[in-house]
Amino acid sequence: APLAGVIGMPITHSRSPRLHGYWLDRYGLAGHYVPIPVMPEHLAEVLRNMPRMGFVGANVTIPHKEAVLTLADTVTDRAALIGAANTLIFRPDGKIHADNTDGYGFIANLRQNAPDWQPDRGPAAVIGAGGAARAVVASLLDSGVRELRITNRTRLRAEQIKAEFGARLVVYDWAQVGNMLDGAATVVNATSLGMQGKQPLRVPMDALSPDALVTDLVYTPLMTPFLTEAQARGCRIVDGLGMLLHQAAPGFERWFGHRPEVDDDTRRIALE
Ligand code: ATR
């Protein structure tokens, strides 16, 4: 039976083994998906050995998402642009192929939960400029967003994203985040603020249109203070759990041969 897994450190909190295990059961597929704790200094050796152990691929998470790019034999354009990979395929000839499906997962979540969302209806506003934000920016630009506003506590990281992703980006100062929402059609929290145990993301929302679609990459809790306030202002909201589920689907299909569905049962299992 084909083996796959998720490589990270720490890895005990990953939802991926539960999610892939559920899909394997659901579709009656032979296969196993395991959590694999790996220290950074061992990453290269582990990756070299996994194909020999029967692994057909792996997901990659913190802190290895950037480092795997230098260890892979082939890297998709989008993974190279984002600067990180989350999905590896070990080919029969032993070569490692690296892709990034985070942006796909982000867009698929919006399309599933807000079917009338139109990326070109108005500016997108992205709060945050870390690794997750880079995938969001790439996928929004790919989807046809014409103006993409971005802000980050550390302004330089937002400037770097603009330098790499180009002319459609407009950098706002962190103190101007409220103004950034003025006229925005799509608003994304791509910071870790609002996560259980962290401070909430506090953004003045007076300028936010009730026509905006607001989403959060944080999914613990599902309803972040940011989403709660946006909903109270009449905005359509989409929580971040679906991005996690959808980013997993392409890897599962490549490794185990069946495109898995992302539905309410899948959500429930991933939260257990
Ligand atoms: P990830 O890969 O999950 O995006 P990351 O690269 O560490 O993780 O990025 C975390 C994001 O949350 C960044 O945008 C970070 O802002 P900085 O670049 O200024 O660090 C943001 N973030 C985390 N804690 C924050 C805080 N207390 N206030 C504002 N932004 C914060």
Residues with CB under 6 A from ligand 1: 128-133, 152-154, 157, 191-193, 199
Q: Look up residue 13 and give its DSSP letter.
A: T
Distances from the Cα of 95 to the Cα of 33, 71, 74, 148, angstroms: 20, 10, 8, 36
Q: Which amino acid is at 64?
A: H
Whole-prediction pTM: 0.97
Q: How many Å apart are CA 236 and CA 232, to the nearest integer?
A: 10
pLDDT tens per residue across all 272 residues of the chain = 999 999 999 999 999 999 999 999 999 999 999 999 999 999 999 999 999 999 999 999 999 999 999 999 999 999 999 999 999 999 999 899 999 999 999 999 999 999 999 999 999 999 999 999 999 999 999 999 999 999 999 999 999 999 999 999 999 999 999 999 999 999 999 999 999 999 999 999 999 999 999 999 999 999 999 999 999 999 999 999 999 999 999 999 999 999 999 999 999 999 99
Given a contact cutoff of 8 angstroms between Cβ atoms, the answer to whether 185 and 162 are in contact is no
The per-residue pLDDT for 68 is 98
- Radius of gyration of the chain, Cα coordinates, nearest whole angstrom: 19
- How is domain 3-100+247-271 classified at the architecture level of CATH? 3-Layer(aba) Sandwich (3.40)
Ligand 1 pocket mutation pick from 152, 188, 196 by most atoms within 8 angstroms of CB: 152
Q: Parse the chain into domains and list their residue ranges.
A: 3-100+247-271, 103-239
Active-site residue numbers?
Answer: 65
Residue 228 has a pLDDT of 98
Identical fold, 3-100+247-271 and 103-239: yes
Cα(12)–Cα(129) distance, rounded to whole angstroms? 26
Q: Residue 100 contacts by C-beta under 8 Å, 6 or more apart in sequence? A: 76, 78, 79, 82, 84, 85, 86, 87, 135
Task: Tell the residue nearest (CA) to atom 12 of ligand 1.
Answer: 191
Query: Helices in the chain by DSSP H: which ranges?
Result: 16-26, 43-49, 67-71, 77-82, 102-113, 131-142, 155-165, 177-180, 225-232, 241-256, 264-271
Give 193 Cα–ligand 1 centroid separation in angstroms.
8
* pLDDT given at position 235: 98
102 annotated to a ligand binding site: yes
According to CATH, the topology of domain 103-239 is Rossmann fold (3.40.50)
Burial of 41 (0-12, 13-18, 19+ CB in 10 A): exposed
Determine phi and psi for 71, rounding to 5 degrees. -100, -20
Please tell me whether 153 is known to bind a ligand: yes
One-letter amino acid for residue 239 of the chain? D
User: Would the annotation count 247 as a binding residue?
Assistant: yes
Residue 227: what pLDDT? Answer: 98
> What's the pLDDT score for residue 129?
98
